[in-house]
Structure 1
């Protein structure tokens, strides 16, 4: 540690004050990153000016809260304390679903960065694990893509759209066994996790998870077909994913997108239009914040009480 560092004292560890970590926390509360870092720097300079060498984590949180109030960011201050107070006590599992190409992985990693959640798991990875324990002969749809699983259905289905959706559902069912296992393990260990991917189908996930106060489900969509298609071209430039294969099956991907939107709305799961990353992240953060407030209310608490305890 540098002799000039301000040391933040937690319950179990001591660590140098980090302007970057504080800026991420302020960004999660709703500030623009540039403003968040500027305020984090001002807070650091304020502590240095007071010649503070060590500061308790709770005291730092209190000072940040009142600093934001002084800067006329009252709502940001409240959300900052709410996030810190609840996430430190309650593990949450955030599910970010949506059809291929709508941006679930991008938004999941942005949310993880904002919220300080270190574990982000893609359902594609869970699918690969399930393929190791379930044979192709037993579940052939698992070995196809979400948009080609209809090709190996054993029954004949004349309605094309119905066939695509049934194939998609059969493909996802086995993956969801792994997804639910990950959620169970994370909650048991008291760890927050973000799970993202096209296999998160609201109509197939057990109500146990949909109704859990600790599980927050959000479905992303891109209503504009041209924009959705352009996402595959853009993604192909920065990854090894087969752009042409996605585009050959684009019609089916659009059918799956609509199916996920409709089933999400039926289940009361919020659907977020992912056109602009910043706006999407902000909307997702608002959804998560409201869910956390409901957790407090269900337990007989109030946001005001949590803020008071934190101060």
Structure 2
């Protein structure tokens, strides 16, 4: 027997009801995935049981809000913001910084999935492009990992205990040129994207976009050194790392210096920080932060038609 289809009506336009699109929108507003899909399924089941095969979108939203009030009331105001935001051509850019090994890549992928953002770019990739264009004789700092830079690479007098941080700041400044170009292009063309990596130093590139309403800057950290060290072994087991964990552990003192500098500079710059103990909880916090951050865009939106249940458009 063919499954009956529910039609949603908004401003005279008809579109099929989609549990996937509705659940995705709830996730974008900060609802947890299992809750989002449960609510979407419950709403559909109720409409079918009532034989409501044609229904106004606002009625669907009213049912959704009522269910959210009982499970996660904080999502309700963010849902309305995301509804309006999806209608605009305004881009959303998320910058996720943090030291090597704290989980910026994993978080970026999860945040992008939940926000339906197709473009995820790592600063290591940007650095690799710059390496191809600039020789190591000209910029030797660019051609090493941030935690491997030596006094010989710096070429100016630096105290031994300052070498790691001086090198990191110098390399971050160099890579920030490429990051800024990508961010500016995304903003200009209306492209949603996530950029992640160690080179997103709060007092350098993030400071540049601190007050931009379309750009959401956040830093991930791990206060427990042992937990941070263990992440390299976990990564080595779960992925085909370019380097074995031992190579990172050999430079762990330098990595922690960079970690502490990033965390402290984030505090000085007023950049939002999240401790990444659990990727699920961290992703929830990041999505909630982005939803609240872009509320200014949502409030300025003017179009009346909603895309909440429109399967023909994506972010």
Distance in 1, Cα, partners of 2:271 & 2:181: 21
- Does the 8 A contact of 2:98 with 2:200 survive in 1? yes
Distance in 2, Cα, partners of 1:72 & 1:272: 25
- Deviations 1:174-230 (CA, angstroms, capped at 9, x unpaired): 211111111111111111111011010122227442221111100000000000011
1:243-258 paired onto structure 2 within 5 Å: 243-258=245-260
Partner of 1:174: 174
Q: 1:169 to 1:176 in 2, by over 3 A?
A: same
The alpha carbon displacement at 1:16 in A equals 5.7
The alpha carbon displacement at 1:37 in A equals 1.2
- Does the 8 A contact of 1:149 with 1:171 survive in 2? no
Q: 1:121 to 1:5 in 2, by over 3 A?
A: farther
Distance in 2, Cα, partners of 1:189 & 1:10: 28
Distance in 2, Cα, partners of 1:174 & 1:15: 48
- Does the 8 A contact of 1:65 with 1:80 survive in 2? no
Q: 1:106 to 1:10 in 2, by over 3 A?
A: farther
- Deviations 1:59-110 (CA, angstroms, capped at 9, x unpaired): 54x3442012332525423221211212431211110000000000111111
Partner of 2:128: 128
Partner of 1:280: 282
Q: 1:309 to 1:22 in 2, by over 3 A?
A: closer
- Does the 8 A contact of 1:112 with 1:118 survive in 2? yes
Distance in 2, Cα, partners of 1:15 & 1:202: 44
Partner of 2:95: 95
Distance in 2, Cα, partners of 1:187 & 1:8: 32
Q: 2:62 aligns with which of 41, 66, 74?
A: 66
When normalised by structure 2's length, the TM-score is 0.84
Partner of 1:260: 262
Distance in 1, Cα, partners of 2:61 & 2:276: 31
Distance in 2, Cα, partners of 1:269 & 1:42: 39
**Helix, strand or coil: the match of 1:145?**
coil
State the superposition RMSD in angstroms.
3.0
Distance in 2, Cα, partners of 1:47 & 1:135: 64
Partner of 2:238: 238
Q: Which runs of 5+ in 1 are unaligned?
A: none
Q: 1:291 aligns with which of 290, 293, 312?
A: 293
1:105-184 paired onto structure 2 within 5 Å: 105-151=105-151, 152-160=153-161, 162-184=162-184
**Helix, strand or coil: the match of 1:210?**
coil
Count of residues in correspondence between the two structures: 297
Q: 1:281 to 1:261 in 2, by over 3 A?
A: same
- Does the 8 A contact of 1:95 with 1:196 survive in 2? yes
Distance in 1, Cα, partners of 2:68 & 2:20: 22
When normalised by structure 1's length, the TM-score is 0.85
- Does the 8 A contact of 1:221 with 1:272 survive in 2? yes
- Does the 8 A contact of 2:206 with 2:217 survive in 1? no
- Does the 8 A contact of 2:222 with 2:275 survive in 1? yes
Q: Which runs of 5+ in 2 are unaligned?
A: 309-315
